[in-house]
């Protein structure tokens, strides 16, 4: 915990309270209000946690004003161009970039955990074929607690390690199986001779009837998408994982809770919603109509893939993702993709519109990812599952960090009660 070198004085009804202030490595100071209720009988009030630090962490730092994203101090654009996803996983989990030997051992470990218990295949067959892959992922990842009892004890460091490796290794297999199940194709087993991203593409797009060779450029683009989504400080789904973990729930239940939260269109579901929006716009000449709707207070429509609670300048992930979109579409010979054309013109129209500039609304990570994923052959229903499998390492890293925190206690927010004051029951004949 950072030490307090200064404090703030809060005065309520003539009574003053000293509140310690902690200064971080980077970012805003924090005001420690933990003793405020006990001392003053007053709660703080912050729906949506716009001004609340829920924990301390050493994993990821975001500077929304500068458009900075650091994982253990390393900028995301450097990791996206110089590293690869499993190395970033190691960095997030253990705090330092691995040596060549450490990386080799880690990659071999993850590779040999990619198969799932054969009995889980029967579990999959209980779903309808048209189930949304996210519904299957929430169920299947939660159900891992029913198949891997030997890694559910959160008080056993060895079991925490095994559960971490199993989740990072098996969630892509589950995501690929959810896709295969939805299109009526047989499951494709993981292959130990393929790297993480190539293995996922192979499990999604190979069929038993013929050999499927993964294009290395697409595998690289896939790996970059995984890296760009790996972790992102205390976002809604990570906070969900931390809250679930604070009750002592097993790791599979906690990650399933994170997947459930990520599914929402305001969060990880935005990549699917964004591409569906771009398709609804259809042609650049309809962009003004949708810009007007996004600005209309009486219209609930929002530009999906725009805006962010923290980034008020630009989302550094969107910048890298846009470059990747150009590369993948050039490779696939679809650089004239009409949807990409709409996306680029929409981005320019919004960035030049005072409404979006004043409200600091810029493209976020979800704006371009869907364009790449669709070009790769994924249906929109698989966009959020890709986000979820990428973010699993971030959730796990934050879960491990919280469990190791001696200050950890069950998360239990209070409320501003505006309901009816106490009253007596009225018998039905008197109502």
Active site residues: 308, 366
Q: Least distance to ligand SDX from the beta carbon of 62, Å?
A: 7
Q: Which stretch binds ligand SDX (CB under 6 A): 24-32, 36-44, 191-199, 265-273?
A: 265-273
- 114 or 235: CB nearest ligand SDX: 235
Comparing CB distances to ligand SDX, the nearer of 148 and 356 is 356
Residue whose beta carbon is closest to ligand SDX? 307
Interaction pattern, residues 363-392, with ligand SDX; x per rule: CB under 6 A: -xxx--------------------------
Binding residue for ligand SDX, selected from 115, 146, 217, 266, defined by CB under 6 A: 266
Closest CB 172 distance from ligand SDX, rounded Å:
18
Minimal distance, residue 399 CB to ligand SDX, in Å = 15
Position 270 contacts ligand SDX (CB under 6 A): yes
Q: Which of 387, 300, 279, 291 is nearest to 347 (CA)?
A: 291
Instruction: Confirm or reject binding of residue 176 to ligand SDX (CB under 6 A).
Output: no
Q: Which CB sits closer to ligand SDX, 112 or 359?
A: 359
Nearer to ligand SDX, 124 or 367 (CB): 367
Task: Please select the residue that binds ligand SDX; options are 5, 35, 66, 359, rule is CB under 6 A.
Answer: 359
Report the residue number, 251 or 305, with the smaller CB distance to ligand SDX: 305
Distance in Å, CB of 37 to ligand SDX, minimum: 26
174 lines the binding site for ligand SDX (CB under 6 A)? no
* Least Å from the CB of residue 50 to ligand SDX: 7
Q: How far are the Cα atoms of 145, 187, 402 from residue 139, in angstroms, in the given order?
A: 11, 17, 24
CB 250 within 8 A of CB 154: yes
Residues 6+ apart with CB under 8 A from 198: 214, 216, 219, 222
240 lies in the site for ligand SDX, by CB under 6 A: no
Token pair in block for residue 62: 């975001």
- Tell me which stretch binds ligand SDX (CB under 6 A): 79-87, 118-126, 307-315, 403-411: 307-315
Report which of 160, 173, 139 is spatially closest to residue 397, judged by C-alpha positions.
160
235 binds ligand SDX (CB under 6 A): yes
Specify the residue, 202 or 391, whose C-beta has the smaller distance to ligand SDX: 391
Answer for which of 309, 323, 344, 345 binds ligand SDX (CB under 6 A) is 309
Residue position matching structure tokens 């007007």? 292
Query: Applying CB under 6 A, what is the total number of residues that bind ligand SDX?
Result: 20
> In this chain, which of 267, 279, 312, 344 binds ligand SDX, going by CB under 6 A?
267
SS3 assignment for the chain: CCCEEEEEEEEECCEEEEEEEECCCCCCCEECCCCHHHHHCCCCCCHHHCCCCCCCCCCEEEECCCCEEEECCEEHHHHHHHCCHHHHHHHHHHCCCCCHHHHHHHHHHHHCCCCCCCCHHHHHCCCCCCCCHHHHHHHHHHHHHHCCHHHCCCCCHHHHHHHHHHHHHHHHHHHHHHHHHHCCCCCCCCCCCCCHHHHHHHHHHCECCECCCCCHHHHHHHHHHHHHCCCCCCCHHHHHHHHHHHCCCCHHHHHHHHHHHHCCCCCCCHHHHHHHHHHHHCCHHHHHHHHHHHHCCCCCCCCCCECCCCCCCCCHHHHHHHHHHHHHHHHCCCCCCHHHHHHHHHHHHHHCCHHHHHCCCCECHHHHHHHHHHHHCCCHHHHHHHHHHHHHHHHHHHHHHHHCCCCCCCCCCCCCCCCCCCCCCCCHHHC
Rule CB under 6 A: is residue 312 a binding residue for ligand SDX? no
Stretch that binds ligand SDX, among 20-28, 202-210, 260-268, 416-424 (CB under 6 A): 260-268
Indicate whether 302 belongs to the interface with ligand SDX (CB under 6 A). Answer: yes
Does 347 bind ligand SDX (CB under 6 A)? Our answer is no
Pick the piece of the chain touching ligand SDX (CB under 6 A) from 156-164, 177-185, 360-368, 396-404: 360-368
Of residues 8 and 292, the one with the C-beta less far from ligand SDX = 292
Which residues are near ligand SDX by CB under 6 A?
A: 232, 235, 266-268, 270, 294, 302-309, 359, 361, 364-366
């Amino acid at each position: 915990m950072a030490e307090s070198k200064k404090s703030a004085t809060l005065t309520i009804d003539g009574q003053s309270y000293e509140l310690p202030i902690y200064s971080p490595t980077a970012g805003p100071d924090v005001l420690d209000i933990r003793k405020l209720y006990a001392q003053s009988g007053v709660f703080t009030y912050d729906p949506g946690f716009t001004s609340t630090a829920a924990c301390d962490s050493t994993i990821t730092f975001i500077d929304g004003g500068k458009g900075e994203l650091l994982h253990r101090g390393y900028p995301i654009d450097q990791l996206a161009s110089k590293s690869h996803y499993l190395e970033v996983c190691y960095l997030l989990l253990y705090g330092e970039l691995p040596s060549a030997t450490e990386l080799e051992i880690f990659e071999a470990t993850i590779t040999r955990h990619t198969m799932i218990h054969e009995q889980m295949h029967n579990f999959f067959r209980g779903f309808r074929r048209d189930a949304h892959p996210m519904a299957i992922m929430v169920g299947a990842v939660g159900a891992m607690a029913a198949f891997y009892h030997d890694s559910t004890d959160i008080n056993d460091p060895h079991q925490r390690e095994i559960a971490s490796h199993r989740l990072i290794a098996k969630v892509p297999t589950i995501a690929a199986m959810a896709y295969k199940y939805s299109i009526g194709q047989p499951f494709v087993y993981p292959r130990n001779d393929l790297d993480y991203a190539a293995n996922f593409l192979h499990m999604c797009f190979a069929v038993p009837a013929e050999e499927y060779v993964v294009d290395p450029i697409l595998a690289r683009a896939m790996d970059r998408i995984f890296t760009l989504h790996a972790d992102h400080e205390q976002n809604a789904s990570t906070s969900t994982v931390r809250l679930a973990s604070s009750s002592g729930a097993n790791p599979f239940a906690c990650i399933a809770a994170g997947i459930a939260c990520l599914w929402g269109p305001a969060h990880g579901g935005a990549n699917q919603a964004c591409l569906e929006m771009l398709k609804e716009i259809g042609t650049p000449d309809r962009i003004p109509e949708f810009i007007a709707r996004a600005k209309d207070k009486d219209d609930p429509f929002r530009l999906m893939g725009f805006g962010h609670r923290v980034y008020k300048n630009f989302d550094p992930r969107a910048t890298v993702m846009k470059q990747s979109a150009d590369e993948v579409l050039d490779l696939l010979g679809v650089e004239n993709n009409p949807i990409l054309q709409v996306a680029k013109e929409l981005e320019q129209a919004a960035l030049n519109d005072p409404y979006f500039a004043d409200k600091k609304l810029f493209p976020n990570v979800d704006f371009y990812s869907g364009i790449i994923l669709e070009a790769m052959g994924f249906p929109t229903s698989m966009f959020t599952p890709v986000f979820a499998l990428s973010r699993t390492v971030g959730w796990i890293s934050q879960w491990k960090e919280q469990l190791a925190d001696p200050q950890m206690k069950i998360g239990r927010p209070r409320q501003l009660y505006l309901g009816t004051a106490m009253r007596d029951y009225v018998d039905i004949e008197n109502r």
